């Protein structure tokens, strides 16, 4: 009988779970006091995904799902009609700013690595902009680029995202109003929607991430879903697990040996990273400050220009570029003279090491320097602003404000339980099978129903905080 079974999968489970457990025990200190990120670069070399079959495909699909969920979550968390109210700022950041970032990054790489052609550096720079992951095909004519890139790849994804998000919102409202959906499915709806959108739109060959953002914006256009899930804390949990899992995995596939090659040595990679982190975004944001209504002061422009972390998206784009180059070489074994086959091969060999080193530099630099850059009164560097004044992680649950003389009344039995001088304001309170939401000092209401909608609420209850057990009301609060 074999006592020990050792394989890559079991080691991966052990390392991943162990790191999350250990990190969780000190997460408040690490994230809120030391301002460090949860990225883990190498995992002590206990896991080596480079030995796995289809490792590139695993990397691409893992980062694809993570990006889709995070893009959807960002869109869902935007306030009502945010896109229309800040359309000018978003346009400036997406068009002139990103174009500048792309060209400047390419120039920096070209200057430091002169044997790389400028076309190659543009392709590598597109990974850290970020921009469209598909490399331009010199074989295609300009009209084909306009029709496919702008028509099929962009406009179709916007249309599909809007329609899917609108339909999802209508269907979810109908299901909720008719009591067809339970709380767990309601809270996880946006995550399932993100996975559906990225799969469906990718099948059509359009831009899945743009579709995810548009779908999320359309889905929460009226702010209903965001308000209903406001107290769920599910987004923070999912985001933490995704970040930990993804960064641990990325750390294990870092091409450390490539950093010491003659073509890509540290004396080239370090200057590239430093120059890109300084000049990629900061000059253009500061220069266009007066054209970006969302940025009010010079300090905010400095912060917005400097704080542009490079992470999972860049890794996804780098892997996608490698796949596209392989695809091009496979489909066109006899390339036209206009295309430098050796240049494509060099790009394939260099793109991931360069991007990976820049990601590593960004994680280190941005993770360490955030506290130093707390230079604007309107800039909040807290990872979780809602718990900025709370002393421990357990307090991520709704906050309880203590006042005096609380009487709890059990609605099922009708018996009163004298409280311990506590009263709540606008939050959910749980004592065994008692619950009350939203009561403030001076309220004298009671509940005799066990339905979730009978909870006393000053500002209205939301779906995330609806209880599944007996209710209690607050009386005699003076």
Maximum average pLDDT range among 131-135, 221-225, 409-413? 221-225
More reliable by pLDDT, 467 or 191: 191
Please tell me the predicted confidence (pLDDT) of residue 37.
58
CA–CA distance, 307 with 313 (Å, rounded to integer): 15
Of all residues in the chain, what percent carry a pLDDT higher than 90? 24
Higher-confidence residue of 453 and 313: namely 313
Asked whether residue 1 carries a pLDDT value surpassing 80, the answer given is no
Question: Is residue 360 scored above 70 in pLDDT?
Answer: yes
pLDDT of residue 372: 58
Q: What is the DSSP letter of 85?
A: H
Model pLDDT, residue 236: 73
* Token pair listed for 206: 């359009």
Q: What is the band of 475 on the pLDDT scale with cuts at 50, 70, 90?
A: very low
| pLDDT tens profile 270-280 | 999 999 999 99
Q: How far apart (Å, rounded) are the C-alpha atoms in residues 32 and 188?
A: 27
Question: Residues of 223-261 as b/e, b for ≥16 C-beta within 10 angstroms?
Answer: ebbbebbbbbbbbeebebebbbbbbbbbbbbbbeebbee
- Quote the DSSP letter at residue 386: G
Which class for 385: exposed (0-12), middle (13-18), buried (19 or more C-beta within 10 A)? exposed
The values of phi and psi at residue 436, to 5°, are -145, 150
pLDDT at residue 357 is higher than 90: yes
The arithmetic mean of pLDDT across residues 446-471, rounded, is: 43
Least confident of 63-72, 124-133, 333-342, 437-446: 437-446
Residue 39 has pLDDT above 60, yes or no: no
Q: What are phi and psi of 82, to 5 degrees?
A: -60, -40
∠105-148-137 over CA atoms, to 5°? 50
Residue 333 or residue 255, greater confidence: 255
From CA 461, how far away is CA 445, in angstroms rounded? 15
- pTM higher than the cut 0.85: no
Helix (H) or strand (E) holding 299: helix 298-306
DSSP-derived letter for residue 325 is H
Rounded Cα distance between 383 and 32, Å, is 7
Question: Of 16-25, 212-221, 359-368, 459-468, which range is least confident?
Answer: 459-468
* Neighbour count for residue 209 (Cβ, 10 Å): 24
Residues of the chain with CATH 1.20.1530: 8-385
Q: Provide the pLDDT for residue 38.
A: 57
pLDDT tens digits, residue range 371-418? 555 544 444 444 333 333 333 333 343 433 434 344 444 444 444 444
**Mean of pLDDT over the chain:** 73
Mean pLDDT value of segment 179-196: 90
Q: Looking at the predicted structure, is the pLDDT value of residue 314 above 60?
A: yes
Q: How large is the average pLDDT for residues 359-374? A: 75
- Ramachandran quadrant class, 438 (left: phi over 0; alpha: psi -120 to 50; beta: rest): left
Q: What is the pLDDT of residue 253?
A: 84
- Residue 200 is encoded by which pair of tokens? 């469906």
* Rg from Cα positions in the chain: 26
In CATH, 8-385 is 3.30.1240: no
Q: Which parts of 298-355 are beta strand (E)?
A: none
**Strand, coil or helix: 429:** strand
For the chain, what percent of residues have pLDDT higher than 70? 65
In this prediction, residues 243-272 reach a mean pLDDT of 85
> Which parts of 201-342 are beta strand (E)?
none
Lowest mean pLDDT among 200-204, 256-260, 423-427: 423-427
Taking every pair of Cα atoms in the chain, the longest distance, rounded to a whole number of angstroms, is 88
Q: Helix (H, G, I), strand (E, B), or coil: what is residue 343?
A: helix
Tell me what pLDDT residue 53 has. 73
Of 165, 185, 298, residue with least CA distance to 232: 185
Distance CA 354, CA 127 (A): 10
Rounded CA-CA distance 467/231 in Å is: 12
Most confident of 343-347, 359-363, 442-446: 359-363
- What span, in angstroms and rounded, lies between the C-alpha atoms of 113 and 273? 13
Q: In the prediction, which pLDDT does 335 show?
A: 65
Q: Which long-range contacts (CB under 8 A, 24 or more apart) does 387-390 make?
A: 387/32, 388/32
Give residue 420's pLDDT: 41
Give residue 471's pLDDT: 39
pLDDT tens track for 135-166 = 344 344 445 555 666 667 788 899 999 999 99
């Amino acid at each position: 009988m074999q006592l020990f079974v050792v394989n890559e999968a079991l080691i991966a489970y052990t390392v991943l779970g162990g790191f999350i457990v250990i990190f969780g025990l000190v997460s408040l200190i690490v994230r809120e006091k030391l301002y460090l990120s949860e990225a883990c670069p190498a995992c002590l070399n206990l896991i080596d995904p480079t030995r796995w079959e289809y490792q590139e495909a695993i990397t691409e699909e893992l980062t694809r799902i993570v990006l889709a969920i995070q893009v959807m979550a960002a869109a869902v968390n935007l306030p009502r009609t945010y896109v229309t109210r800040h359309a000018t700022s978003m346009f400036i950041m997406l068009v002139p700013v990103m174009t500048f970032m792309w060209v400047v990054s390419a120039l920096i790489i070209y200057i430091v690595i002169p044997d790389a052609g400028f076309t190659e550096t543009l392709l590598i720079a597109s990974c850290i902009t970020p921009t469209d992951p598909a490399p331009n095909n010199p074989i295609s004519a300009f009209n084909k680029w306009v029709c496919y890139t702008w028509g099929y790849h962009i406009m179709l994804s916007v249309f599909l995202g809007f329609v899917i998000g609108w339909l999802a919102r209508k269907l979810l409202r109908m299901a909720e109003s008719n009591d067809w959906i339970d709380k767990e499915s309601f809270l996880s709806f946006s995550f399932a929607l993100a996975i559906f959108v990225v799969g469906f739109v990718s099948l059509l060959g359009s831009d899945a991430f743009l579709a995810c953002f548009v779908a999320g914006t359309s889905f929460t256009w009226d702010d209903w879903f965001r308000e209903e899930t406001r107290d769920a804390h599910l987004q923070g949990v999912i985001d933490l697990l995704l970040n930990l899992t993804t960064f641990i995995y990325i750390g294990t596939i870092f091409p450390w040996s490539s950093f010491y090659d003659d073509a890509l040595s540290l004396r080239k990679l370090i200057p590239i990273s430093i120059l890109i982190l300084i000049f990629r975004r900061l000059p253009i944001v500061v220069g266009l400050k007066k054209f970006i209504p969302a940025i009010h002061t010079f300090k905010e422009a400095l912060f917005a220009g400097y704080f542009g972390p490079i992470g999972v998206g860049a890794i996804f784009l780098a892997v996608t570029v490698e796949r596209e180059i392989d695809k091009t070489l496979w489909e066109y074994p006899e390339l036209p003279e206009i295309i430098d086959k050796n240049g494509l091969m060099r790009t394939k060999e260099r793109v991931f090491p360069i991007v990976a080193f820049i990601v590593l530099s960004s994680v280190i630099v941005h993770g360490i320097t955030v506290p130093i850059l707390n230079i604007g009164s309107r800039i909040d560097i807290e990872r979780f602003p809602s718990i900025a004044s709370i002393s421990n992680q357990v307090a991520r649950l709704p906050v309880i404000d203590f006042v005096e003389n609380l009487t709890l009344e059990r609605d099922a039995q009708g018996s009163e339980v004298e409280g311990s001088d506590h009263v709540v304001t606008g939050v959910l309170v749980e004592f065994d099978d008692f619950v009350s939401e939203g009561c403030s000092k001076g309220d004298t209401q009671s509940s005799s129903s066990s339905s979730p909608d009978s909870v006393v609420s000053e500002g209205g209850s939301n779906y995330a905080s609806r209880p599944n057990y007996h209710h209690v009301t607050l009386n005699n609060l003076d």
